[in-house]
Amino acid sequence: SYLLGVSLYIFSSALAFAPRNSVIIGRSTSQLYADATDVTIDPKEAVKVFGRLAEKYIMLDASGGMCCYSACSDCEYRLPGGGYRMADQSSARPKWIPSYDERAFESSGKEHTSKWSTEIFTTGPAVTKEEFVSRLLDMEFAPPLGGPYMSKSSAGIDDVVVIERLFDILCDGKEKLTKHRMGTKIKELAGGDEGLVW
């Protein structure tokens, strides 16, 4: 799993919220935005965004649900370190920003639609920066696992610089951000994992 604290260079490298007091994003820290102007992001500001996008549930590997979890030594669903490929996971507090907009596992009858896909892309498959900022501001905040603790009552966003920077990272120079691009970029930023974690 990847630390998503405020270092927009991993959650870019997009909201990579690494647990630090502040992070400078720009020439020295971002491979994707080598010519970007340096931006300092307070981790508490980043957690306000992460807590709006993160979820308590994520669907991972459809084949993982085929395992009986009996610790068979030759099980094809076991990981090299002895763990299991899980079909899905859940947590007590929001932990993941899924890389998919929706996913269904027919074999287990499970399906999930990501919060970002239904709350940001409300009128179609693409949004402008202004729409992205407005809709993310309207999303409900819940204190996530990881990062500096932020109560719901203190999670108001006064300055939209973190949201705007996230849009720039996700849309990769395009004028509009599509659902597909957002999912693809999140997966890329998560190093191929199914979701970003703090």
The answer to whether residue 147 scores a pLDDT higher than 80 is yes
Nearest CA to 36 out of 46, 24, 47, 21 is that of 24
Contacts 24+ apart (CB under 8 A), 31-40: 32/169, 32/172, 33/168, 33/169, 39/8, 39/161, 39/165
Cα dihedral sign for 185, 119, 145, 152? positive
pLDDT of residue 43: 92
Rg from Cα positions in the chain: 17
Count CA atoms within 13 Å of residue 48 on its CB side: 20
Mind listing the pLDDT tens digit for each residue in 13-34? Answer: 344 433 333 333 332 223 333 3
- Extended beta strands in the chain, E state: 23-25, 39-41, 57-59, 88-90, 96-98, 102-105, 110-113, 126-127, 177-178, 195-197
State pTM to two decimals. Answer: 0.78
Mind listing the pLDDT tens digit for each residue in 74-131? Answer: 887 777 887 877 888 999 999 999 999 999 988 778 899 999 999 999 999 999 999 9
pLDDT of residue 65: 65
The larger pLDDT score, comparing residue 67 to residue 21, is at 67
